[in-house]
Amino acid sequence: MILVARFCALIGLALQLLAVPALATERRVALVIGNSGYSNAPVLPNTVNDARDMAASLRKVGFEVVDGVNLDKRGMDQAVTRFARLAQDADAVMFYYAGHGFQFNGENYLVPVEARVEDEISVQYETTRLNDVLTALNFSKGVKIMVLDACRNNPFVSQLAKRQATRGFAVGSGLAPVARAQGMVIAYATQANDVAADGIGRNSPFTAALVREIEQPGLEVATMFRRVQKSVYDATSGRQTPELSLSLLGDFYLNREETDSDVWRRIRSSDDPEVYKDFVQRYPTSFFAIDARTRLDLIERRATETKERDLLAREFAEREKALLERVERAEAIRQQAATDLAKRQTEAASPAPTVAQPNPATRPQAPAAGTVRPVDVAARAAQDKAERERLAQEVSRRERELASLETEKRRLADERALLEQAMAARMGTLTMSSPLQPNLSLNALPPPTERSLIDRPVGEPAIIAPPAAPPRAQTVRTQNPRAPSAATCSEILLRAQLGELTPQAKEQLQLCR
């Protein structure tokens, strides 16, 4: 029974999977050929570089590339055959060719490196028909792109022209127009029936511009080729203008990576400075680079401010700790001195011992127990008075020390407040929200009165003033109590620069002004 239930569950899962459309990744296939080292035609200086750079660019944007350089007739046929097989289930296909090409009787031909073109027969059997490549492209049901940087001077025009008197064929300049099909993009390095330049750099003007534009993400294919046209026209001073034939029903993007706008929308709320550094490095000329630098500057200023606040807090914590230890020691000594003084005063208030008076009629006898001689009483009284004076002076001195520590505590709080305000002003924002006074519990006393403790009547206890309440930090009041803090205003102004203001933030912005 359990096996039957599991089998039914598996069948149901399979049916659900079949009902969901397959989310297959788009397949892209490209054929790239660059011929340069011709045996029977002028060597082309940069076509191999063109093909290799184009193959690298297409691989970066997700194409599976079949490529070859300096291919003979057999090599070109094999490359086209392999490409045709891969194109059968591809969503997008592209063919790029750099090398000699010509038109003959209105049909275009690509020239292998060993081809010897002398007559009509050699044209048919020693070159590769462009129509064969079109057939391979048409195996794909998706977007088809053909790029021809082959509109160079026909190297065989003189040989073919010798037979023109006896044979009915026509030799034209450049390449003939290709009949476009639905879903196809055809790009020529120059206009049909015209000749393109090889260029003097690593690449031809057309391929150099095309490789550069492929690297730009988010460009629709028509826009991309229009930009290539403009670049080639400017680079050749108007002598060469690429031609584009496009028959697409929708948009197509060679480079599907995120654009600077896409990246900015994704990262603009981040607090990671590395994200903005990477953005500025990747898109230095982007419209959003200024916003990225502004955001990066704010984050770095906040980090610097936080670091300085932490250093300031640690410094003052150490100073406050040392001050508190001094206060505790001074208070302990003062309390001990006050206790001793009170004890001495209590002893002084107790009944004095009996003093034996001498009888002149009798002989001197030893003093009875419990009697004290006058000389001893006077000495002891003097000692007690001196000790009380010393203790009173010690208590007074400790009270003055505690009052001095209280003053030092206030000075430390004021110093901390001034440093924090100076730091906030330097950073352009007041972000210190913690209390400005140090967090100390000081049992400090106010300055002692002029009255001396030794003049206190006998039996009167020492009066110790209660500790003064810690001073409160002065509250900075703005003219408008509803106005946000300087830190909030700074943040709102930054948001305004980035275009991220909410309705509530807009109201606060008016108050900041």
Mean pLDDT, the chain, rounded, equals 76
Do 177 and 308 reside in the same domain of the chain? no
Q: Is the pLDDT of residue 437 over 50?
A: no
CATH of the domain at 92: 3.40.50.1460
Rounded average pLDDT over 85-106 = 92
Which residues partner with 220 through β-bridges? Answer: 253
Q: Given a cut of 80, is residue 20 above it in pLDDT? A: no
Average pLDDT over residues 402-416: 82
Same domain, 225 and 335: no
**3-class DSSP state for residue 443?**
coil
Q: What percent of the chain is modeled with pLDDT above 70?
A: 67
Examine the pLDDT at 457 and tell me if it is beyond 50: no
Could you tell me if 380 and 392 are in contact, meaning their C-beta atoms sit under 8 angstroms apart? no
Residue 147: its pLDDT value, please?
A: 95
Q: DSSP characters for 287-309?
A: TTHHHHHHHHHHHHHHHHHHHHH
Whether 319 is in a domain gets the answer: yes
Give the pLDDT confidence score for residue 440 in this predicted structure.
47
The domain boundary residue, chosen from 198, 227, 256: 256
DSSP state at residue 259: P
Domain shared by 278 and 195, yes or no: no
pLDDT classification of 140: cutoffs 50, 70, 90: very high
Q: Is 88 among the domain residues?
A: yes
| HSE, side-chain direction, 13 A CA sphere, residue 237 | 1
Give the pLDDT confidence of 175-196 residue by residue, as tens digits.
777 776 778 999 998 876 556 6
Q: Are residues 85 and 206 in the same domain?
A: yes
- What mean pLDDT is predicted for residues 206-231? 93
Amino acid at the residue 122:
S
Per residue in 317-353, pLDDT (tens digit) is: 888 888 888 888 888 887 888 887 787 777 767 665 5
Is the pLDDT confidence value at 164 over 90?
no
Query: Residues near 490 by Cβ (< 8 Å), separated by ≥ 6?
Result: 428, 429
Per residue, the 3-state secondary structure of 154-217, as one string, reads CCCHHHHHHCCCCCCCCEECCCCCCCCCCCEEEEECCCCCCCCCCCCCCCCHHHHHHHHHHCCC
Q: What is the pLDDT of residue 447?
A: 46
Does 452 have pLDDT greater than 70? no
**Angle at 74 (CA atoms; ends 71, 79), nearest 5 degrees:** 65
At residue 64 the predicted structure's pLDDT band, cuts being 50, 70 and 90, is: very high
- Alpha carbon distance 188, 225 (integer Å): 10
234 with 264, same domain: the answer is no
Q: Is 97 helix (H, G, I), strand (E, B) or coil?
A: strand
Average pLDDT over residues 453-474: 46
Q: Look-up: residue for tokens 């790239």?
A: 32
**Residue 58 pLDDT grade (very low, low, confident, very high; cuts 50, 70, 90):** very high
**pLDDT the model gives residue 256:** 86
The verdict on 133 and 217 lying in the same domain is yes
Domain boundary among 256, 286, 306: 256
Residues 55 and 169 both lie in one domain: yes
Look at residue 297 and tell me whether its pLDDT is greater than 60: yes
Tell me what the mean pLDDT of segment 1-15 comes to.
51
Work out how many domains the chain is built from and give that number. 3
Q: What's the rounded Cα separation, in Å, for the pair 61 and 52?
A: 15
Name which of 134, 129, 130, 245 is nearest 192 in CA terms: 245
Indicate whether 68 pLDDT > 90.
Answer: yes
User: What per-residue confidence (pLDDT) applies to 123?
Assistant: 87
> What number of other Cβ atoms are within 10 A of residue 206's Cβ?
29
464 pLDDT band, cuts 50/70/90, is very low
Task: For residues 134 and 184, state if they share a domain.
Answer: yes
Q: Which domain holds residue 294?
A: 258-349+380-456
Q: What mean pLDDT do residues 254-283 have?
A: 88
Residue of 67, 88, 97 whose CA lies nearest to 79: 67
Answer yes or no: do 150 and 247 share one domain. yes
Asked if the structure places residue 16 within a domain, the reply is no
Residue 235 has pLDDT above 80, yes or no: yes
C-alpha span between 226 and 68 (Å, rounded): 28
d(CA 98, CA 108): 14
CA dihedral 312, 314, 315, 318 (to 10 degrees): 150
Name which residue leads in pLDDT, 343 or 237: 237
User: Is the domain of 245 the same as that of 300?
Assistant: no
Are both 66 and 205 inside the same structural domain?
yes
pLDDT reported for residue 10: 54
Q: Is the pLDDT of residue 86 over 80?
A: yes
Residue 370 lies in a domain: no
pLDDT band for position 354 (cuts 50, 70, 90): low
Q: Is the pLDDT of residue 455 over 70?
A: no
* pLDDT recorded at residue 494: 66
Say yes or no: 109 and 169 in one domain. yes
Quick check: is 19 in a domain? no
In the chain, the percentage of residues whose pLDDT exceeds 90 is: 28
Do the domain assignments include residue 270?
yes
pLDDT of residue 404: 84
What count of other Cβ atoms lies within 10 Å of the Cβ of residue 306?
11
Q: Where are the alpha helices (DSSP H) in 236-288?
A: 260-267, 273-282
Is the pLDDT confidence value at 495 over 70?
no
Query: Which of the residue ranges 51-65, 290-304, 365-379 would you say has the lowest mean pLDDT?
Result: 365-379
How many whole angstroms separate alpha carbon 511 and alpha carbon 505?
Answer: 10
Lowest mean pLDDT among 106-115, 215-224, 478-487: 478-487
Q: What is the pLDDT of residue 350?
A: 66
Cα–Cα dist 173/104, whole Å = 9
Structure tokens at 113: 């490196």
H or E stretch including 107? strand 107-110
Which of 22-36, 332-346, 432-446, 463-477 is predicted with the least confidence, judged by mean pLDDT?
A: 432-446
148: in domain = yes
247 by DSSP, 3-state: which? strand
The verdict on residue 467 lying in a domain is: no
Q: How much is the pLDDT for 475?
A: 45
